[in-house]
Amino acid sequence: MHTPKIIKQLILVNVVFFVLSMISPKFFDLFAMHFPLNPQFRWWQVITHMFMHGGIWHILFNMYALWAFGSPIVARYGVNRFLAFYFISGLGALALFLGVEYYRFTQDFRQLAGLGIPAENIWAVLQHPDSGTIRRYFPQLLISPAVQKIFDDLNSIYHLTMLGASGAIYGILVAFAFFYPRVKLMLIFLPYPLDAKYFVPLLILMDIVFGFTNYLHTNIAHFAHVGGALTGLFLLWLWRNRRDEYYFYD
């Protein structure tokens, strides 16, 4: 299969970011996406998190998917529209993920405030979760497992980092299933080929289920996948009346 130049360039940028993040923890902190209420958040992370990955298998799977599914979409859309599709899908993925996490954060915060814990005390412990700060501002954490559970969830959201190209790639997957519905695809753990028009919706349905149930108990951002897919679907609808064009780039 012909590999468009833009796919090679995106893969190269991802690899460079991955290597630098492995070398320097500071690079990771600067360019991975932090929760917007966390002081480590920077505006450019909205884009740069798409080039960051958490491990070798993470980047290998994502770059393989980018190559396998992105190349035909470049051929269909051309470079400029492909890049718009790719990054807008990534932004849609981030928006849904952060929307869900912000909702969870506010619910947990309200529960703690409803227990009579002053908001400024909660913020103090979130920002400095050491034993001295806890004893001074939030002693309930030391004696109540229920409060500890709520705070642990709140704290994990506040200190979360999101990274990876998966959200953007899910948008590309939706486009691939739309343009090439009869191409056979299969999962590694489910070695039975399915048409893309069935495979991709099944993948998204699994993310929805796992996102709501956390059945797998992993750090996978399932709602980011769903957000990327929905954004890709919206863009397909938005561009539905544009004339099909095929471009091939070196």
Tell me 138's DSSP state. -
Please give the pLDDT value at position 14.
Answer: 97
Please give the pLDDT value at position 128.
Answer: 83
Entry field: residues in the chain: 250
Please give the pLDDT value at position 249.
Answer: 39
Please give the pLDDT value at position 166.
Answer: 96
Please give the pLDDT value at position 247.
Answer: 43
Please give the pLDDT value at position 189.
Answer: 63
- Ordered by where they begin, the domains of the chain are 5-102+159-238 (1.20.1540.10), 105-158 (no CATH)
pLDDT < 70 regions, the chain: 1, 131, 137, 140-143, 188-190, 215-217, 242-250
Q: Where are the beta strands (DSSP E) in the chain?
A: 33-34, 161-162, 184-187, 190-195
Please give the pLDDT value at position 1.
Answer: 63
- Rounded Cα distance between 71 and 158, Å, is 37
pTM to 2 decimal places: 0.90
In the chain, how long is the greatest CA-to-CA distance?
65
163-172 burial, b at 16+ Cβ within 10 Å, e below that, comes to bbbbbbbbbb
Q: Which residues contact 199 (CB under 8 A, 6 or more apart)?
A: 177, 185, 186
